[in-house]
Amino acid sequence: MTNDEERIKAAQWLFERTLGWIATADVKVSVALALDTAMLGGLAAAFAGSDYHLRTAWCYLFVLAATAGMAFAMFCAGMAAIPRMRGPVKSMIFFGRVMEKDADTYVDEFSNMTEKEYLADLARQIHRNSEIACEKHHWVRKSLFWSFLSAGVWIVAIAMLVKI
């Protein structure tokens, strides 16, 4: 990149990618929550419909382990879904800082912004979005790990509750 215009185009492209990484984490959270909710619902239905005499100590152990694992997976999914509101302190891009100004002030400041200032603002926002994406994906990974780990225990619990 030889000039600021090329740098700005590259930064805008990277900015859009970081927003995509955040959106990808949010989609995965939805899948994890749907999976865990369905599994908990199935477990509750199987437990409610099971014969009391089939509920051995082992059965209770597997039901509790599956429930605890899925509850922790849902907690992790919730942590991934929480909006991250901390952005660059001085920004013309981050919505939290934009809304702090009245419209006329924002228009004036944006209109007077130099290419170098805009590029720096984009770079700061890219960095913050990358932090957000990493944090969200960290929680999504934990959520999916506990969901899949719980699935094996859930299968055993369901098999113990349902007459096969």
Q: Is 124 left (phi over 0), alpha (psi -120 to 50) or beta?
A: alpha
- For residue 1, is pLDDT > 70? no
DSSP string, 111-123: HT--HHHHHHHHH
39, amino acid identity? M
Residue 103 CA: distances (Å) to CA of 3, 85, 98, 106, 114: 31, 20, 9, 5, 19
pLDDT mean across residues, the chain: 92
Query: Is residue 76 within 8 Å of 143, Cβ to Cβ?
Result: yes
For 21-62, the pLDDT digits (tens) are 999 999 999 999 999 999 999 999 999 999 888 789 999 999
What is the average per-residue pLDDT within 7-13? 92
- For residue 153, is pLDDT > 90? yes
Distance in angstroms (rounded) separating the CA atoms of residues 121 and 141: 30
As a whole-number percent, the residues of the chain with pLDDT over 90 amount to: 75
Distance in angstroms (rounded) separating the CA atoms of residues 130 and 22: 8
For 108-130, the pLDDT digits (tens) are 989 999 999 999 999 999 999 99
Whole-structure pTM value:
0.85
